[in-house]
Amino acid sequence: MNALGKHLLLELKGCNKEVLNDIGFLREALLAAAGEAGATVLGESFHQFKPQGVSGVVIIAESHICIHTWPEYGYAAADIFTCGNSVQPKKVAEIIVGKLGSKNHSIAEMSIGVSVTRVA
């Protein structure tokens, strides 16, 4: 199957609620995951919600890594979108799972741009 990219949808349950509300920790975790997986970071945007929760995105040359956290549920959703083969999105996902200490996670993988053809 020929695809332009992969999109991994990651659900992280059973995370430490303090970690999920720590924007500095989450920013470092995503940047470290990108770096350790060999991705090139081009931009980022993180936001702290009140009373709790963080949204963040890292734009990488290979596409993006996003996270949204709900500390009150010990829950975070992340997604990792990559094109090309230089970065393995599962490696990014595994690093994020480890850093957030999720006790129960799931990963769904979608293929993106399957069998599209070049235009003139």
Known catalytic residue at 63: yes
106 catalytic per annotation: no
Looking up tokens 């609620």 gives: 17
Q: Which helix (H) or strand (E) holds 105?
A: strand 104-112
66 is catalytic: no
**CB of 5 vs a second copy, minimal distance in Å:** 7
Residue whose C-alpha is closest to residue 90's, from 42, 44, 38, 55? 38
Taking the least distance from each CB to a second copy, the nearer of 56 and 95 is: 56
Give the side-chain half-sphere CA count within 13 A for 58: 24
Backbone phi and psi for residue 32, each to the nearest 5 degrees, phi listed first: -65, -40
Which residues would be at the binding site for a second copy (CB under 8 A)? Answer: 4-5, 7, 9, 11, 13, 17, 42-47, 49, 55-57, 59, 61, 63-64, 66, 68, 70, 72-75, 77, 79, 81, 83, 108, 110, 112-113, 116-119
Could you tell me if 64 and 44 are in contact, meaning their C-beta atoms sit under 8 angstroms apart?
no
Catalytic residue among 63, 64, 102, 105: 63
Q: Which is nearer to a second copy, 32 or 108 (CB)?
A: 108
Q: What residues are annotated to the active site?
A: 63, 68, 83
